[in-house]
Structure 1
């Protein structure tokens, strides 16, 4: 099973992020991520044996609860790997604490964890042919309501996501 922890935006936020992606695609010539696939990744696990799923559910259950804090998206840019992203110019303490708790739980359970600093972002485009320089975008509130454990299945049409469990 290919798994990751994420926060899924509400429908209105997804639609707004998707519209931003469509606009940026004209400049970067990338492939727009479908609105229903947009998410804020907290930890990507990759392939996980199905028998370890209960461990991940326990970790999810132990995470600090989200309280509806607003993470304000107000920046966008591109990375050399062809990803065009939307993120924030300001750190979000609630998000930082959540990711730290998640990384600690994963490490204690023996799951590999990311060694690079966490950079919260939503991927808007993939395979961009022109790198988009970092820039301000109109502020968009992303309400942090619940953490989801997601399964990703790769298909010729792109990844398909399925929520396995969520926590407030």
Structure 2
């Protein structure tokens, strides 16, 4: 297993949803000056970041995730907000937020516990479901968070989609898109 490879479990977004997000990002890029915009094929909602891992540990986590998600059925989600993480004046992450849906939190808990059972050391911060759109503020002026309210396309017109699967991804820093699907865990209908 490549020592520089990182792995994570995420909720996959349907391609139609990724394209709608990309269209909004193409408009937002003209007003928000971030250093790197995420390739639309890489949009996802992270459930558990694993870092680098041995093949046997990944396989063990996959078996636990498979079992944990066995009875989960697909569910509706909506993307309804914009936000940032990091310093107020120069955020490091610009994101689109998913509505607070109990089923999403339940799926995250199942995946998180399965990975923990496989002996992964996991993020301990509270789960904040989001889709990273861009990284590293590069604007000439300080970032003005209040501007997000006036340009947020999702407040009035959320993007709705069906969550149908969790994916184990591998990160390839030298590629674009940079996330490769290693294993898929579909929900029941």
TM-score by length of 1: 0.88
CA-CA distance at 1:91 after TM superposition: 1.4
**1:27-83 Cα distance to aligned partner (Å, 9 max, x none):** 221122111111111111111112322112112212234423111111002222421
Task: Name 1:8's counterpart in structure 2.
Answer: 12
Matched, 1:103 2:107: no
How far did 1:159 drift?
6.1
- Root-mean-square deviation (CA, aligned residues, Å) is 1.9
Return the index of the structure with the highest Cα Rg: 2
Measured in 2, the distance between the counterparts of 1:123 and 1:132 equals 18
Correspondence for 1:125 among 124, 130, 134: 134
**Cα deviation, residue 129, structure 1:** 2.5
Q: Secondary structure at the match of 1:119?
A: coil
Alignment of 1:74 with 2:92, yes or no, is: no
Matching residue of 2:54: 49
**Structure 1 contact 18–33 (Cα < 8 Å) conserved:** no
**SS of the residue 1:112 aligns to:** coil
Aligned pair count?
166
> Structure 1 residue runs of 4+, over 4 Å off?
none
Is 1:27–1:132's contact at 8 Å kept on the other side of the alignment?
Answer: no
Q: Distance in 1 between matches of 2:62 and 2:85?
A: 32
User: Does structure 1 residue 146 correspond to structure 2 residue 165?
Assistant: yes
Unpaired runs of at least 5, structure 2: none
Equivalent residue number for residue 42 of structure 2: 37
CA distance in structure 2 between the aligned counterparts of 1:107 and 1:50, rounded to whole angstroms: 16
Deviation at 1:153, TM superposition (A): 1.3
Corresponding residue for 2:63?
A: 58
Per-residue CA deviations over 1:75-100 (Å, capped at 9, x if unaligned) read: 00222242110013x41111101111
CA distance 1:45–1:132, change in 2 (3 Å): farther
Q: Equivalent of 2:179, from 153, 161, 166?
A: 161
* 2:97 corresponds to 1:87: yes
